[in-house]
Structure 1
Amino acid sequence: MAAQFEPSEETTGGDWYSEGNLDKELINVMKSVCLKYISRQKVVTRDGVLEWSRKSGVFTAEVSNQQIEEILQTLVLDDEIIEVKSTGYWDFENVPVDRVCYISKSKGGVREPKDGAMSSGGVCPRINFCIPDDIVSPRTCVS
C-alpha cells in the first residue's frame, strides 16, 4: 500500500476506535471533561466547548466538531445535560437566538426545584430557561 493513502473510516472504525476496538476509555474521559466544563458554565454551545478544549489543551490530540457534537449528544442521551435553543435573553444573552445550547442538569446548570420553592414566595429555579412552547415552559412546568 502506498504511504500517502490512509484507510477509510469504514475500515478503521472511525475516531472512536483504536486498533479495531471501541475506545470506551477515550469516550468516558471526553464525556467527563466536557461535563465538568459545562457544569461550570451557565450555557454552552458546541463551538464554545470546542474552542475551550483547544485553548485549554485539555485533550492531547486534535478534537473535531463532529467528536464534540457526538460527545454532547451522548451526554444528552445520558440525561446529564439538556439541549435547548437560545432565546437571546438572560443566560442566553451572548448566544444568538435559536442557536442550539447545552445546560448542565447538575451544579451550575438546571437544578431540580426544592419542595415548596414557589409556595414560600421564592423565584422559580428555572425562570431563566422558561419560554412559552419550549422545552421548559409554563405548560410543561412541574414545580
Structure 2
Amino acid sequence: MSRRPVNPSLKRKRPETDSPGLVDAERAILDSIKGKKDLGIWARDIKQETKLTDHVVNKSLKSLLAKKLIKEVVNIQNKGKKHYMAFEFEPSKEISGGEWYVDGNLDKELINVLKQLCFRYLRTQKVATLDGVYNELKKNRVVTFDISNQQVSEILNSMVLDNDLIEVKSTGLGDYHSIPIGTVCYRIASAAGVAKGPKMGAFASIPCGACPRISLCTPDGVISPGTCVYYTKWLSIDF
C-alpha cells in the first residue's frame, strides 16, 4: 500500500530564528540581553531572569561573545560589574556617560580644553550668558561632536565650583548693558582675570586635537600649520 503524499503546507515547520546554531540556554540569554536594548544588563540579572545556573550562564556568555552576538560594555555607574549588550546596540548615555567618557573613563583632557576655551572667551567678553558661550563654541567648532547647551552648562557650573568663574545676574548696566536684566551670566572670578583659570599643559591646549579639519592639514596644503591662525596663537602662548 503506497503512502499518501503529504501536502507541503501541512508539514510542521521548525521555528525560524534570527541566530541559528544556538542552544536553548544561549537563545534564552540572548533574548534577555536584546530585550534591554541600549541599556544592557548585568550578568547577575541575566541569571535571575533566565533561572539558569552560574555555570550555564557563564559558558553561554562566552559562546555568545565569541560569536559576536553580544559584547561587554563598561557601565560608569558600576564599573566592577560585568555588563552585557546585544552587538547591534550602542550604550546609552546612562551607561557610557556620553561624550565626557572614553571607555568608561572621564575624558579629563577634553574637559580641561573646553574649560580653557570658555575661560578665554570670558576673558575677552568680561561677561557672558550660557547661550553666548555655547554659540561661541559651536561657531568655532572646537570639538568634533555636536556639543549641547546642557554640556556647556555642566562645564560652566564646574568652573564655578572650582572658583574659576562666578555666576551673577545681569543688572543691565555697564558690562551687562546688552544682557536683559535678571539673566544669569558668568564672569571670571578674579578681578583682573590674570594668571587664573584651569591649569593645562602645553600639549593639552594645542588646537590641533579639537580641529575638525585635522585630516586635511598638511605642511604644503591649503590648510597647514603655517597658515593656521589658531596654531600660530598657540605658539605664542607663554606656558
Do both share a fold (TM > 0.5)? Answer: yes
Q: 1:52 Cα shift? A: 0.7
> What is the total number of aligned residue pairs between the two structures?
108
2:188 counterpart letter in structure 1: S
- 2:153 and 2:100 mapped to 1: Cα distance? 13
1:2 to partner: Cα distance: 7.2
Q: Which has the higher helix share?
A: 2
Instruction: Please tell me the root mean square deviation across aligned C-alpha atoms, in Å.
Output: 1.8
CA displacement 1:28-73 (0-9 Å, x = unmatched): 1111111111111121011000101111222232211111001101
The match for 2:161 among 62, 77, 89 is: 77
- 1:65 matched residue in structure 2: 149
1:1-143 equivalences in 2 (<5 Å):
1=86, 3=88, 5-106=89-190, 110-111=191-192
Take 2:92 and 2:114, find their aligned partners in 1: how far apart are those partners? 23
2:15 corresponds to: none
TM-score with structure 2 length normalisation? Answer: 0.42
Q: What code does the residue aligned with 1:36 have? A: R
Distance 1:11 1:74 in 2: 21
Secondary structure of 2:181's counterpart equals coil
Secondary structure in 1 aligned to 2:147?
Answer: coil
What is the TM-score when the length of structure 1 is the normalising length? 0.68
Residue segments in structure 2 that go unaligned for 5+ positions in a row: 1-85, 194-239
TM-aligned CA deviation for residue 104 of structure 1: 1.1
Matched to 2:192, the amino acid is R
Match of 1:128 in 2: none
How many angstroms apart in 1 are the aligned matches of 2:141 and 2:99?
A: 18
**Matching residue of 1:119:** none
One-letter code of the match for 2:147? V
Separation in 2, partners of 1:75, 1:30: 10
Give the Å deviation of 1:81: 1.0
Query: Which one has the largest radius of gyration?
Result: 2
Q: 1:19, CA displacement in angstroms?
A: 1.0
Gap runs ≥5 in structure 1: 113-143
Query: Following the alignment from structure 1 to structure 2, what is the Cα–Cα distance between the partners of residues 25 and 31?
Result: 10
Q: Secondary structure at the match of 2:98?
A: coil
